[in-house]
């Protein structure tokens, strides 16, 4: 009897061991690739169970299998594969084998998504509309609550999800086109199954759209529909960190997948000048590159080759899958700079018309300029980063609107543009999702805020406008509050500010002002893309020209609370073959006397077109 029991126990244990060693594959990332890609040496990240002491094979000659990297947990397997440069679109089969088990999976290769509509880049001929999808328009109420997705901040009026989604943005593409925008930047849309999830910057799945916003196919649709309206799409991308609630944190692929340890993480410092400081110490560089931005966002260790490959492939995957036109890279200085340079190089090699703007939160051009590629003052390192967020201009416009400084400070800022390799490739703004709205800073002085928008939209760089600015949303300094719902975008809203009838007189005044300037940029390309020539402001009046080979425009900004008269006799010295023809923006009265003086009302601006 005892022998029978022992035999049964041994048999049970043997079966259990065999079962526990069965190979399982639950997911492969990237989930597919495309033919016609320059980047065709991939590293598959395979998720599953018991992925230890295995081999991987493929019978197809168009794919060669390279090195296999196993992990201690057996939950992940990394495999290098090379795709033939002429690989044909189809499903390719792979087999993972061990001594006890084997499992098959397929890896699709799709036709290239490169065409004349996709991957067009963005430049100073564009005007960017920044959208926080959850706070813009609820176009599909069926995805407001999704099983398995719970945010503990739900019920907090400023921090909860409001229900905006991708369908809502699609529905408003005609509105944005009519307003005069050419490009849309959405805050991140990948899955954020965590707390305070509405903002999108704490990913729990890098390959899937958050289901409360839509799905991957809807994201691709928004790009396609935008392109049909001749609008471009910028993807907000995060290479620096992910959410503490990402499944990785329960079992890291490798101990050095992140910098530091969960529960004992290093803190980031915020000294962004250290990368151009000739005397900076490696310890300070380590603290900004390896420190966690916040405690609930583990910091990627991009010096781990598997992490680096993962981020690069994920970035390319979204570019090719969706057809986006550019990338905004979040928290740029906090990632390891040599890796970011490599990432930029790979993306721009694959998509030659593309543009990438890095978020570098410093307002001093002396430090900011060093992050832009081809900077002549950094002969030791090239970031390969084409564009930067111009916090310097934002800071000066904020001071002007708050009546803390005059127009001379803005002139001085532009005078420092020699520090940049390409000042026209700076994304300029007066506010965004991280700083208080300009109307809050204006404290009721709408005319002063309008002058800030005028300079933003007519000087140099690529202007970005935060959603709701076109109707003068004010709010306050709290992040959750300044990212308020757009009136009329949600069920139960009392009015629809997307329509003239639904806007107040105050809102229509600002809306009309901004629409006029946006269309002037479209109708007069020299104002958006031409060269800039300016003069030191005298008596707080800023005068500058925008011009190209065909057209010349004179722009005047009166930053005083009083009407002023300006002598424009100097025009014939600057452009001797030209004369003023007509006002295309501003009061269009007979304000030019025989002695070439023009009248500027208090807190106003004008644009004159010159002609030979």
pLDDT tens column, 485-517? 999 999 999 999 999 999 999 999 999 999 999
pLDDT at 589: 56
Contact between 344 and 385 under an 8 Å Cβ cutoff? The reply is: yes
Detail the DSSP E strand segments found in 149-269.
Answer: 183-186, 190-191, 205-209, 232-237
Q: Which residue has the tokens 């995957």?
A: 317
- 260 to 84, 107, 298: CA distances (angstroms): 38, 34, 9
- Specify if 20 maps to a domain: yes
Please state whether 336 falls in left (phi above 0), alpha (psi between -120 and 50) or beta: beta
- Specify if 511 maps to a domain: no
- Among candidate residues 109, 131, 162, the one where a domain is terminated: 109
Could you confirm whether 330 is annotated as catalytic?
yes
Could you give the CA distance from residue 25 to residue 596 in angstroms, rounded to a whole number?
A: 78
pLDDT at 272: 86
pLDDT at 591: 55
pLDDT at 1: 47
Catalytic residue among 359, 396, 431, 436: 359
- Specify if 11 maps to a domain: yes
- Specify if 402 maps to a domain: no
pLDDT at 526: 98
- Among candidate residues 62, 89, 109, the one where a domain is terminated: 109
- Specify if 320 maps to a domain: no
- Specify if 117 maps to a domain: no
Residues contacting residue 279 through CB under 8 Å, at least 6 positions apart: none
Could you give the CA distance from residue 297 to residue 240 in angstroms, rounded to a whole number?
A: 9
- Among candidate residues 85, 109, 133, the one where a domain is terminated: 109
**CATH number, domain containing residue 31:** 2.60.40.10
- 177 to 174, 526, 542: CA distances (angstroms): 5, 20, 31
Residues contacting residue 473 through CB under 8 Å, at least 6 positions apart: 437, 439, 484
Could you confirm whether 205 is annotated as catalytic?
no
pLDDT at 8: 39
SS3 of residue 494 by DSSP: coil
Catalytic residue among 123, 236, 289, 330: 330
- Specify if 266 maps to a domain: no
Number of domains in the chain: 2
Q: What residue numbers bound the domain in which 29 lies?
A: 2-109
- 155 to 150, 197, 420, 489: CA distances (angstroms): 11, 13, 46, 19
- Specify if 339 maps to a domain: no
Show the tokens assigned to 467. 């959603």
**Backbone Cα Rg of the chain:** 28
- Which residues of the chain have a pLDDT value below 50? 1-19, 593-594
**CATH number, domain containing residue 576:** 2.60.40.1180
Supply the DSSP string of 169-186, one letter for each residue.
HHHTHHHHHHHT--EEEE
SS3 of residue 99 by DSSP: coil
């Amino acid at each position: 009897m005892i022998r029978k029991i022992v035999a049964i126990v041994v048999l049970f244990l043997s079966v259990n061991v065999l079962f526990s060693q069965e190979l399982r594959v639950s997911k492969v990332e990237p989930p597919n690739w495309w033919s016609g890609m320059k980047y065709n040496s991939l590293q598959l990240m395979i998720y599953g169970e018991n992925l230890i002491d295995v081999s991987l094979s493929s019978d197809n000659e168009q794919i060669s299998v390279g090195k296999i990297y196993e992990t201690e947990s057996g939950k992940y397997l990394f495999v290098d594969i090379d795709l033939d440069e002429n690989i044909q679109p189809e499903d390719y089969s792979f087999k993972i084998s061990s001594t006890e088990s084997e499992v098959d999976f397929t890896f699709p290769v799709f036709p290239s998504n490169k065409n004349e509509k996709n991957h067009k880049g963005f430049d100073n001929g564009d005007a960017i509309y920044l959208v926080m999808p959850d706070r813009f328009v609820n176009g599909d109420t069926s995805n407001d609550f999704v099983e398995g997705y719970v945010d503990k901040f739900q019920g907090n009026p400023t921090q909860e999800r409001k229900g905006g989604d991708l369908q809502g943005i699609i529905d408003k593409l005609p509105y944005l086109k009519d307003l005069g925008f050419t490009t849309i930047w959405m805050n991140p849309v990948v899955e954020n199954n965590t707390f305070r999830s509405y903002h999108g910057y704490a990913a729990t799945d890098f390959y899937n759209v958050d289901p409360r916003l839509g799905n991957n196919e809807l994201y691709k649709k928004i790009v396609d529909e935008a392109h049909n309206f001749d609008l471009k799409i910028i993807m907000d991308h995060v290479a620096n960190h992910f959410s503490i609630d990402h499944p990785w944190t329960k079992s890291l692929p490798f101990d050095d997948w992140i910098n530091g340890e969960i529960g004992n993480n290093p803190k980031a410092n915020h000294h962004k000048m250290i990368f151009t400081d000739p005397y900076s110490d490696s310890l300070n560089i380590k603290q900004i590159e390896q420190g966690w931005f916040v405690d609930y966002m583990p910091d990627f260790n991009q010096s781990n080759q598997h992490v680096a490959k993962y981020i690069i492939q994920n970035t390319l995957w979204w570019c090719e899958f969706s057809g986006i036109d550019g990338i905004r890279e979040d928290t740029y200085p906090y990632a390891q700079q040599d890796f970011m340079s490599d990432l930029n190089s790979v993306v721009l090699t694959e998509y030659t018309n593309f543009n990438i703007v890095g978020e570098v939160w410093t307002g001093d051009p002396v430090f900011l300029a060093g992050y832009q590629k081809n900077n002549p003052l950094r002969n030791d390192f090239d970031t390969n980063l084409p564009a930067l967020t111009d916090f310097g201009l934002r800071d000066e416009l904020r001071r002007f609107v708050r009546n803390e400084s005059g127009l001379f400070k803005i002139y001085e800022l532009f005078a420092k543009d020699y520090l940049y390799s390409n000042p026209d490739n700076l994304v300029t703004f007066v506010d965004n999702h991280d700083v208080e709205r300009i109307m809050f800073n204006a404290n009721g002085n709408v005319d002063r805020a309008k002058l800030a928008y005028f300079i933003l939209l007519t000087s140099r760089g690529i202007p970005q406008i935060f959603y709701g600015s076109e109707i003068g949303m004010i709010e306050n300094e709290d992040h959750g509050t300044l990212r308020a719902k757009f009136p009329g975008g949600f069920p139960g809203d009392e009015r629809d500010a997307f329509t003239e009838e639904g806007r107040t007189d105050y809102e229509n005044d600002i809306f009309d002002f901004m629409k006029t300037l946006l269309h002037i940029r479209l109708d007069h390309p020299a104002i958006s893309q031409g060269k800039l020539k300016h003069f030191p402001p005298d008596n707080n009046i800023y005068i500058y020209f925008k011009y190209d080979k065909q057209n010349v425009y004179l722009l005047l900004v009166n930053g005083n609370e009083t009407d002023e008269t300006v002598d424009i006799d100097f025009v014939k010295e600057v452009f001797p073959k030209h004369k003023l023809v007509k006002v295309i923006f501003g009061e269009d009265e007979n304000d030019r006397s025989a002695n070439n003086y023009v009248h500027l009302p208090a807190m106003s601006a004008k644009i004159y077109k010159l002609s030979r």
